Every structure is written in structure tokens, then in C-alpha cells.
């Protein structure tokens, strides 16, 4: 898909995409670019299923891993705008009964910025829960049950003292969201985020009956160019922090939603894109805000340095990246159906594609 304003760079963009797919040895790749609330280019290359010779398309649905955290942040932002929850509300005020008394002073802000002290998967001291998060063979339809996998685990530190990335912390955040929304987390996300933004391909994974548009996910065999299908897994226990599925186009338009003050207020977006300080006053080392990382990037002489909000995701047989540049009303999402050795290998395509399309946008403005 292309916009006539960008047809002169389409061939170059596709060439970059195909070269990148081959370089990282991914079966398939998809990308979408949106500017000013419109998809201006999207493309796919390679295979969604090698064995069946099914090509990757712009409608192929993929696991997005921790990019799910950005989605959850939007659900939280909608609650904040309604006055139903505050970033400084504590779990002691929200959860009755409180699953773990040591959680009483943890704030929503802490959970959403990974400063709560909740462990990540491997640091969970609730041993049976740890086993279940490794076996990945159980369906969790209610986040209350997913939280039971770690509700007896030790805290890593007092809330706000340190930064420690934790997808389980985001799962706990989704329980607080569910309590204040007074409806299941999944329903709130569908009603308040996906439907308003028209995200028809952003879904939960159905392990027993996969969506017909869903990709097959692959593992790369060490030191070879061969890939094989990833074993069946159930990621429902981590939905809010790493379990949603989507397309690049849906994610790019989700990014546009975050730029719309009709969807999220200006003050709330400002709060959510402010990197959070620890109790000692220092900004956490990842520049993590409320469900987003926020950094500056130099896009070269024609564009210069810009602020961007972003989140990446790594899942079983998939990787995802979403970025938003508010100054240009720009969002880009890219997804693959395998996992590279390092995340930077996968995400290396983002900056050159971003430069290409923003430079073209600037040129179109001058015409």
C-alpha cells in the first residue's frame, strides 16, 4: 500500500525492507508508517508460513511481546482521563483483599514504570508460579488468576528505590486497571482502546484455534540459516505485559491514537511520556516513562534531533517495535516472525526507514 505523495520512495523502502529481512534471516517481516492519522505506506516481505508457502502480508497477525505494555498504558491513560484512577493511587487502596501485604504502598506509577520491585519472570520466588511461566501450557482468562503465579513472591526492593524491568509488574497493573474499570482487563482494552482506534487485528492469542491470519513463529537454529517452527506456547498469563497479537498497521495507528488529544488528553500524555524519577531523584537509566521509553534521536542534517516515544517486544518466535515522533505526527511499526540474536539486529531498519519517510514528508510540504 502506498500514498501517491510517497510513491517516489516506495521502491527504495521495499528494497530496504527485503534486504533487512535477508540480513537478519527472518522468514517474514511487515512494516507500516503513519503520518497525521493516516497510513501512508505499509509493506510485507517473506513468509508467514514457510511450510505452507503462505506469504507474509500487511494483514498478518504477529505476537508483539512487550510492545503490549504500550497498549496497556493507553488503557491506563483512558482510566486516568476519566478520573477513575490516579498514577499515585496505591495497591492498598485499589485491591481488596490485597494478595500480598508487601504490595500495599506500591503506586500505579511504580508498576507502569518498573520501579515497584515486582520480579521479572526468572526472579519469581513463588516456585510453582515460576514453573508455570516456564512451561507455558496453561490458559488464564482472568488476570486475577495470572497474578496468583507471583503473589507470594519476594519483592526485589522498596517501591521507587530502583528500576528493574518486570512484565509481571505490568500484569499486576492490569489487575489494578481491571478493579478500577469494574470490568475484565481484556474488555476494557477492547472497548476503550482497540474499538475507538479501529484496531481490528489486535487480539488475544487463541492457542486452540489460531486466527487464520496469524503467522507461524520460528526459532533460528544456532550458526545456520535454518529455522523451524517454535513449539506451541500459551502466553495468556502475561497478556498485559507481553501477550497481545497485532499487525504493523494496527500498531502504527495505535501510535497515531496516542498523538490525538481526542483519545488521550494533553496533560495525561505529557505525564505518560515523562521518564520517571527514583526515590533519590535520579531518572531511571532506561528513560522509562509510563509504559513507554522516551529518548532523543539524531535523524541527520535534514531533520536533526527529535524526541521519540517507543517500545519494543520480544516473544516466542517474534519481535516487534513501535515508535512515535510527535513533532512530525509520525509513527512506525515493524514486526517479524522469528527472534534475532540481539534486538538491535532486528530494529536496525527503524532509523533509516524513519529518515526516508520524514525527509519525504518534509519535501512534500515544501512543494
Sign of torsion over alpha carbons 331, 294, 261, 178:
positive
Do you know the residue count of the chain? 367
Residue 366 binned pLDDT confidence (cut-offs 50, 70, 90): low
State the average pLDDT over residues 60-65: 98
Alpha-carbon distance of 232 to 222, in angstroms, equals: 20
Chain segment 311-331, per-residue pLDDT in tens: 999 999 999 999 999 999 999
On the question of pLDDT at 215 being above 60, the answer is: yes
Residue 367 binned pLDDT confidence (cut-offs 50, 70, 90): low
Look at residue 225 in the predicted model and tell me its pLDDT: 76
Domain assignments of the chain as residue spans, ordered by start: 4-366
Look at residue 3 in the predicted model and tell me its pLDDT: 59
* 107 within 8 A of 90, measured Cβ to Cβ: yes
Alpha-carbon distance of 195 to 187, in angstroms, equals: 10
Residue 221 binned pLDDT confidence (cut-offs 50, 70, 90): confident
Residue whose C-alpha is closest to residue 34's, from 209, 213, 197, 272: 197
Fold of 4-366: Beta-lactamase (3.40.710)
Assessment of whether the complete model's pTM goes beyond 0.75: yes
Cell numbers at 296, concatenated: 532523543
The backbone region for 48, taken as left when phi is positive above 0, alpha when psi lies in -120 to 50, beta otherwise, is: alpha
Chain segment 280-297, per-residue pLDDT in tens: 999 999 999 999 999 999
Amino acid at each position: 500500500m502506498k500514498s501517491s505523495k510517497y510513491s517516489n520512495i516506495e521502491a527504495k523502502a521495499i528494497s530496504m525492507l527485503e534486504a533487512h529481512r535477508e540480513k537478519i534471516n527472518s522468514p517474514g517481516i511487515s512494516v507500516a508508517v503513519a503520518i497525521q492519522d493516516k497510513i501512508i505506506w505499509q509493506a510485507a516481505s517473506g513468509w508467514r508460513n514457510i511450510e505452507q508457502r503462505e506469504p507474509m502480508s500487511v494483514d498478518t497477525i504477529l505476537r508483539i511481546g512487550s510492545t503490549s505494555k504500550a497498549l496497556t498504558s493507553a488503557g491506563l491513560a483512558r482510566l486516568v482521563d476519566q478520573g477513575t484512577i490516579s498514577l499515585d493511587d496505591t495497591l492498598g487502596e485499589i485491591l481488596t483483599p490485597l494478595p500480598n501485604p508487601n504490595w500495599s504502598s506500591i503506586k500505579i506509577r511504580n508498576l507502569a514504570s518498573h520501579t515497584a520491585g515486582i520480579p521479572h519472570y526468572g526472579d519469581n520466588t513463588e516456585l510453582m508460579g515460576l514453573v508455570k511461566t516456564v512451561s507455558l501450557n496453561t490458559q488464564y482468562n482472568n488476570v486475577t488468576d495470572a497474578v496468583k503465579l507471583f503473589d507470594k513472591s519476594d519483592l526485589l526492593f522498596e517501591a521507587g528505590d530502583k528500576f528493574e524491568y518486570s512484565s509481571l509488574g505490568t500484569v499486576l497493573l492490569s489487575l489494578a486497571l481491571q478493579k478500577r474499570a469494574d470490568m475484565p482487563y481484556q474488555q476494557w482494552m477492547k472497548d476503550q482502546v482497540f474499538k475507538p482506534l479501529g484496531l481490528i487485528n489486535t487480539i488475544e492469542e487463541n492457542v486452540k484455534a489460531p486466527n487464520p491470519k496469524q503467522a507461524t513463529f520460528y526459532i533460528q537454529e544456532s550458526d545456520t540459516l535454518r529455522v523451524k517452527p517454535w513449539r506451541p506456547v500459551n502466553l495468556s498469563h502475561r497478556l498485559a505485559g507481553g501477550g497481545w497479537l497485532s499487525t504493523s498497521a494496527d500498531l502504527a495507528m495505535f501510535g497515531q491514537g496516542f498523538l490525538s488529544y481526542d483519545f488521550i488528553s494533553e496533560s495525561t500524555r505529557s505525564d505518560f511520556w515523562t521518564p520517571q524519577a527514583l526515590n533519590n531523584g535520579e531518572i531511571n537509566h532506561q528513560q522509562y516513562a509510563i509504559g513507554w521509553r522516551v529518548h532523543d534521536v539524531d535523524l541527520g542534517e535534514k531533520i536533526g534531533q527529535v524526541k521519540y516515544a517507543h517500545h519494543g517486544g520480544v516473544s516466542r518466535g517474534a519481535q516487534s517495535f513501535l515508535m512515535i515522533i510527535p513533532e512530525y505526527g509520525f509513527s512506525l511499526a515493524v514486526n517479524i516472525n522469528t527472534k534475532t540474536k540481539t534486538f538491535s539486529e532486528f530494529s536496525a531498519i527503524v532509523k533509516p526507514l524513519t529518515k526516508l519517510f520524514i525527509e519525504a514528508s518534509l519535501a512534500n510540504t515544501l512543494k
